[in-house]
Structure 1
Amino acid sequence: MRDWDDAYANSAHIPGSDKMPAQWAERAAAYRAALKGFRADIAYGSGERQRFDLVLPEGDSKGLVVFVHGGYWMRFDKSTWTDIAEGARRHGWTVCLPSYTLTPAARIPDITAEISSAIAKAASLVAGPIRLAGHSAGGHLVTRMLCDDSGLEPSVFNRIAGTLSISGLHDLRPLLKTKMNETLRMTMEEASLESAALHLPRGHSPVTAWVGGSERPEFIRQSDLLANVWTSFDVPTRLVVDPGLNHFTVIDGLKDPSSPITARLIGLD
C-alpha cells in the first residue's frame, strides 16, 4: 500500500527545511521595507485574515497578477512571500498577495470562495488583464477559479489572460488518506468538488502546470494530470518540469524579472 503521507511530505525530503520559513519571512520583510509602492492589508471580507497586499510597479500598471501562497491550506500568510512579486513588478504589473482563513477554522471550499472574493476586490482596484499564480495549495486555489463552478463574475473572469499553477494540487482525493486530513477535515464529496482535474474548465485561457524536477513524484503527477485532462477541453495547457528544483526552490524564479517562470507568468513566452 502506498504511503500517502510520505508522498506529500516535502519538508522531510529537503535538507534544512525547518529553517526555511524564518528565512522566507525575513527576506520578505526586507523586501517590503525597500518598496516605494506598497499597500498593506486591504480588506476583501470581514474575516481577520481576509486581507491582501498590493505591490505596485514604478510606472503605469500593465495589469494585475494575483499570487496565492501554499502551506497545505494550514500555514503561512501573505507576509511570507512579498518578494515573490519582484519579477512581475519589474515588468510593470501590480501584484496582489492575499491571505485567507486557514484550516481547521475554514474548510477548503470556504477558502476557495475567499480567494474568489480577493480576486474580485483586487480586480476592482487594478485595471487591465489578470494573471493568476499559486504555489502548492495556492496552485489548487487558482485553478479552482477556472472551473465550471467558478465564483468569479464574468466581468472579472473574462479578464484572466493566463494561470500558472506551481507544484499545484489538482486532485485532492489522495489527501483523504493522509494524517493532515485530521486538520483539513475533508470528506470525499468535498475532495471531489475541490479537485480542478475533475471539473470542466469554464473558459479557454492558457494554463501552465509548473513543477520542480526534484520534487516528490506525486507533485509531478498532479501537475501532469491537470495539463493532460484540461487539454482535452481545448484549454491551451503546458506542463513544465523545471530540472533540479524542489518544492521550495521552484518559486524562486518569480523574484527574477529575466527568469523563464516570470516570463511565463506575465505572458512573454
Structure 2
Amino acid sequence: MSAAAGLAWTDPPADWDDAYANAAHIPGAEAFLRRWPESAARFRAGARALTDLPYADHPRARYDLFLPEGAPRGLAVFIHGGYWMRFDKSDWSHLAAGATARGWAMALPSYPLAPEARIGAIAGFAARFLEAAAARVAGPIRLAGHSAGGHLAARLVCAGADQAPPLAPAALARVERVVSISGLHDLRPLLRTAMNATLRLDEAEAAAHSPALLRPAPGVAAAAWVGADERPEFLRQAALLANVWRGLGARTAFLAAPGRHHFDVIEGLTRPDDPLCDALLSD
C-alpha cells in the first residue's frame, strides 16, 4: 500500500451559497433577528452614551459611544456584520455592556452598505470611524467585529494595501488587539456565491482586502474566535487568519467556542466576566 492511500482528502463545498448561509442552519434563527434590536434598545435606555456622532459625509457614517462610570481605561470597538449588506449600529448596543462594566468605552459604527458601497470603500469608512472615535477617547484600543465586521476589524490593522485609505498612524499605533469573531478573512470564495451580485467583488478587490492575504501591523495581537457549531467555512476562515498571521510574526490565538453558532457566538460581549469579553479586554 502506498503512503498516499492513507490520505484524508477534503473536497471543496459543492454549494458555495450554502457554505456561507447561516440562518438556514440555526434553529430559531428568526428569534435572534427579533431579539437583537430589542436588547439593544433596552441597553441604550439606561446607558451613558453619545449617539449618532458623525465621522464622514454620509447618512450612515455615524457611531454610538457608550461610556463607563469614570474615566475610560481605553477604547473598545465592535463592528457589526451582515455580509456588508445589512444591519445598523442600533441593533448591537447591548454588546457594549461587558466593556463598559469593565471600565472601557465602546464605540459601535454604522457604515454604508453594498451595493451602494463596495467592500474597499466600506473599509475606508471603517478607518475614518476609528480615527474619529480614537480622537474622543484616550488610551489603548481594542477592536472586535463579527462576521463581515470581523473582516473590517482585521482589515483595519493590515499594512501595505492600497485600495482602502489606510488607518492614520496615530490611531494604528494605539491598537493593541483585534478579536475577529466568525470573521471572513479570505474574500475570494465569495466570488462563487450569489451574494456577489450585490457585493460586486472581483478577483483583484477580493485579494486586496482579504486580511489573510495581507500583513498585520507590527505589535498587534489577533484572536480568531468562532463558534464550534458554525459552518465549516467559518471555522476554516478563523483558523486561516490565526495561522497565516502567526507565520508573519503576529501573536495570535484561535478558539472554537463549544456549543456556539454564528448567531449566539457574540453574546459573551454582554457579560464582563465572559471568556470572549476577557479575550478582548484582558491585560
**Range class of TM-score, shorter chain:** over 0.9
| Match of residue 145 from structure 1 | 156
Q: Is the partner of 2:39 in helix, strand or coil?
A: helix
User: Given the alignment, which residue of 246, 266, 273 partners 1:231?
Assistant: 246
Q: Is the partner of 1:234 in helix, strand or coil?
A: coil
Q: Is the 8 A contact 1:164 1:207 kept in 2?
A: yes
Deviation at 1:149, TM superposition (A): 3.2
Give the 4+ runs in structure 1 shifted more than 2 A. Answer: none
| Match of residue 183 from structure 1 | 198
User: Given the alignment, which residue of 63, 68, 85 partners 1:57?
Assistant: 68
User: Are positions 1:73 and 2:84 aligned together?
Assistant: yes
Q: CA offsets per residue over residues 126-163 of structure 1, 9 Å max, x none?
A: 00000000000000001001111361121111100111
Greater CA drift, 99-108 or 149-158: 149-158
| Match of residue 30 from structure 1 | 42
Deviation at 1:19, TM superposition (A): 3.1
Deviation at 1:34, TM superposition (A): 1.5
User: Given the alignment, which residue of 90, 107, 117 partners 2:101?
Assistant: 90
| Match of residue 104 from structure 1 | 115
| Match of residue 10 from structure 2 | none
User: Given the alignment, which residue of 247, 262, 267 partners 2:277?
Assistant: 262
User: Given the alignment, which residue of 183, 204, 214 partners 1:199?
Assistant: 214
Deviation at 1:243, TM superposition (A): 0.6
Give the letter aligned to residue 54 of structure 2: A
Q: Is the partner of 1:249 in helix, strand or coil?
A: coil
Deviation at 1:78, TM superposition (A): 0.2
| Match of residue 2 from structure 1 | 14
User: Given the alignment, which residue of 229, 235, 242 partners 1:214?
Assistant: 229
User: Given the alignment, which residue of 247, 250, 253 partners 2:262?
Assistant: 247
| Match of residue 17 from structure 1 | 29
Q: Where in structure 2 are there 5+ consecutive unaligned residues?
A: 1-12
Q: Is the 8 A contact 1:67 1:96 kept in 2?
A: yes
> How many equivalent residue pairs?
267
In structure 1, C-alpha distance between the alignment counterparts of 2:115 and 2:203, rounded to whole Å: 17
| Match of residue 5 from structure 2 | none
TM-score norm. by structure 2 comes to 0.93
Deviation at 1:18, TM superposition (A): 2.2
| Match of residue 54 from structure 2 | 43
Q: CA offsets per residue over residues 20-75 of structure 1, 9 Å max, x none?
A: 2221101100111121x111000000100000000000111100011100000001
Q: Is the 8 A contact 1:132 1:164 kept in 2?
A: yes
Deviation at 1:16, TM superposition (A): 1.5
Q: Is the 8 A contact 2:62 2:110 kept in 1?
A: yes
In structure 1, C-alpha distance between the alignment counterparts of 2:30 and 2:38, rounded to whole Å: 14
In structure 2, C-alpha distance between the alignment counterparts of 1:31 and 1:87, rounded to whole Å: 11
Q: Is the partner of 1:250 in helix, strand or coil?
A: coil
Q: Is the 8 A contact 1:89 1:95 kept in 2?
A: yes
Q: Is the partner of 1:208 in helix, strand or coil?
A: strand
Give the letter aligned to residue 18 of structure 1: E
Q: Is the 8 A contact 2:176 2:219 kept in 1?
A: no
Deviation at 1:267, TM superposition (A): 2.3
Q: Where in structure 1 are there 5+ consecutive unaligned residues?
A: none
Q: Is the 8 A contact 1:162 1:267 kept in 2?
A: no
